[in-house]
Copies of this chain bind each other. A is one copy, B any other.
Amino acid sequence: MTQVQLLGQRAKQAEKTLATASTELKNKALENMAQELAAASREILQANAEDMKNARANGVAQVMLDRLLLTEDRIVGMAKGITDIVRLPDPIGVTLSEIKRPNGMTVKKITVPLGVIAVIYEARPNVTSDAAALCLKSGNAVILRGGKEAINSSKAIVKALRLGLEKTGLDENCISLVTDTSRDSATELMRMNEYIDVLIPRGGAGLIRSCVENSTVPVIETGTGNCHIYIDKDADIQMAADIVYNAKTSRPSVCNSAESLVIHKDIIKEALPIIKKRLDEKNVELRGDDTARASADGILPATEDDWGREYLDYIMSVKTVESLDEAIEHISKYSTGHSECIVTENEAAAEEFLKRIDSAAVYHNVSTRFTDGGEFGFGAEIGISTQKLHARGPLGLPQLTSFKYIICGNGQIR
């Protein structure tokens, strides 16, 4: 039996008890997990220092090193992230509907956990504790498989979290870590339908694609965001510049940042120089079509490849359109279905855009950066789903559930 199979079997077993655990017990476990995480601070920082040393030696890029690095503050933040989940309502055991049928039987629909969730992610230690805490509160056992660059940090974090479970009297196998970081272990997880109910990949486009293509376990796709902002001919140009500046530059490495600017031809000559001036403050590189390049100085030529790119960097493509229809067509063709925005004072144009754009979040005069569980008022999330099945948008506690029907009667037959 491989490590992954063993973890799967144990998680399935642990899930049987966790699925029907009381809210009080789960909250107590979260508190103990947070406490043990804080108590293991020194050990976790030592493990992280090891990871950082190896990553630097292996020439890992600076942006990735930033994500990998843990500090005492960040560990405090992770522990706080866990206790924040204590306050969120328990999503399990909620009655979604209850009806009495003419034959006297009652049909009740109640929420239940999904079961065992596997999360495959990159070298981000905080995802380890976030995912574990969200899964625990929603009654799901979780098998974590993080990036190999963070393996020592992940081991130390999971050790602390499991200690918290043990102290609560819960099976520590509710949370487990795949320490074999070979590609084989990921592939094995993707095909272990016997023990795993849902697979959530969290990371770059390559990771997501690999899961979709290879997984026989149901997948919830997350995270790739080629987000567009369309500046309509009736836009308030100052508002457009503010929104584009915020959506592109406030945090370029995240999935809800904007990657592509689409502008109506009637407003481009007036709007683009103003927008570009704002973006120049952060040295954003613009890559545009011919009309865009003729409308402002210093814009590089865009190639077909640019329209579909998720840069996650200070780069943005600029596409000129003749009409709202063309904007919608262009966006529908290149969007990853994450978040798109129209900036306009024209209500009819906004309505048309909001109706026809088929993305998880569609905005009117608001920055795409708000696609986030916390910003929507839903609490913590495990990622942003870009698929239509099961969950779309922020994956918070209510999205980590399934439901079952309970039918009671006194001998009804059909």
Smallest CB gap from A250: residue in B:
B414
Q: Judging by beta carbons under 8 Å apart, are B19 and A366 in contact?
A: no
Residue among A212, A361, A404 facing the most chain B CB atoms (10 A cut-off)? A404
**Stretch among A28-36, A308-316, A405-413 lining the B interface:** A405-413
A107: Cβ under 8 A from any B Cβ: yes
A291: Cβ under 8 A from any B Cβ: no
Smallest CB gap from A359: residue in B:
B404
- Copy number in this complex? 2
Q: Judging by beta carbons under 8 Å apart, are B365 and A411 in contact?
A: yes
How far does the Cβ of A247 sit from chain B's closest Cβ, in whole Å? 8
Q: Judging by beta carbons under 8 Å apart, are A105 and B193 in contact?
A: no
Please measure, in the bound complex, the distance between the C-alpha atom of A391 and the C-alpha atom of B107, giving whole angstroms: 16
A26: Cβ under 8 A from any B Cβ: no
Q: Judging by beta carbons under 8 Å apart, are B393 and A355 in contact?
A: no
Q: Judging by beta carbons under 8 Å apart, are A407 and B101 in contact?
A: no
Cβ contacts A362-379/B at 8 Å (1 or 0 each): 111111011100011100
A185: Cβ under 8 A from any B Cβ: no
Question: What is the predominant secondary structure among interface residues of chain A facing chain B?
Answer: mixed
How far does the Cβ of A64 sit from chain B's closest Cβ, in whole Å? 24
**Stretch among A72-80, A159-167, A238-246, A299-307 lining the B interface:** A238-246
Contacts of A115 in B (CB 8 A): 358, 388
Q: Judging by beta carbons under 8 Å apart, are B360 and A404 in contact?
A: yes
Contacts of A242 in B (CB 8 A): 411, 413
Smallest CB gap from A332: residue in B:
B16
Please measure, in the bound complex, the distance between the C-alpha atom of A359 and the C-alpha atom of B406, giving whole angstroms: 9
**Stretch among A51-59, A143-151, A214-222 lining the B interface:** A214-222
Q: Judging by beta carbons under 8 Å apart, are B212 and A407 in contact?
A: no
A20: Cβ under 8 A from any B Cβ: yes
Please measure, in the bound complex, the distance between the C-alpha atom of A358 and the C-alpha atom of B78, giving whole angstroms: 33
Q: Judging by beta carbons under 8 Å apart, are B236 and A387 in contact?
A: no
Q: Judging by beta carbons under 8 Å apart, are A408 and B358 in contact?
A: no
Q: Judging by beta carbons under 8 Å apart, are A390 and B393 in contact?
A: no
Please measure, in the bound complex, the distance between the C-alpha atom of A20 and the C-alpha atom of B353, giving whole angstroms: 12
Please measure, in the bound complex, the distance between the C-alpha atom of A77 and the C-alpha atom of B403, giving whole angstroms: 32
Q: Judging by beta carbons under 8 Å apart, are A389 and B198 in contact?
A: yes
Choice from B114, B361, B404, B410 contacting A407 with Cβ under 8 Å: B361
Contacts of A375 in B (CB 8 A): 101, 414
The A115-165 residues at the B interface (CB cut-off 8 A) are 115
How far does the Cβ of A165 sit from chain B's closest Cβ, in whole Å? 21
Please measure, in the bound complex, the distance between the C-alpha atom of A360 and the C-alpha atom of B110, giving whole angstroms: 10
Please measure, in the bound complex, the distance between the C-alpha atom of A261 and the C-alpha atom of B112, giving whole angstroms: 26
Q: Judging by beta carbons under 8 Å apart, are B409 and A364 in contact?
A: yes
Please measure, in the bound complex, the distance between the C-alpha atom of A80 and the C-alpha atom of B405, giving whole angstroms: 28
A197: Cβ under 8 A from any B Cβ: yes
Cβ contacts A99-112/B at 8 Å (1 or 0 each): 10100010100001
Evaluate whether A216 and B213 lie within 8 angstroms (CB atoms) in the complex, with A356-B20, A363-B407, A376-B107 already known: yes
A392: Cβ under 8 A from any B Cβ: yes
A187: Cβ under 8 A from any B Cβ: no
Contacts of A407 in B (CB 8 A): 361-364, 366, 370
Since A112-B358, A366-B408, A392-B403 are in contact, a sample of 17 more A-B pairs with Cβ atoms closer than 8 Å, ordered by chain A residue number, is A16-B332, A101-B376, A101-B377, A107-B377, A114-B388, A198-B389, A212-B216, A242-B413, A359-B404, A361-B404, A361-B405, A362-B406, A362-B407, A365-B412, A366-B407, A366-B411, A367-B414
Q: Jot down 26 A-B pairs with beta carbons below 8 A, ordered by A.
A: A16-B356, A19-B358, A101-B375, A105-B370, A107-B376, A112-B388, A114-B389, A212-B216, A213-B216, A218-B387, A220-B389, A243-B413, A246-B413, A350-B408, A358-B404, A360-B404, A362-B405, A362-B406, A364-B407, A365-B412, A366-B409, A366-B412, A367-B412, A369-B414, A370-B407, A392-B403
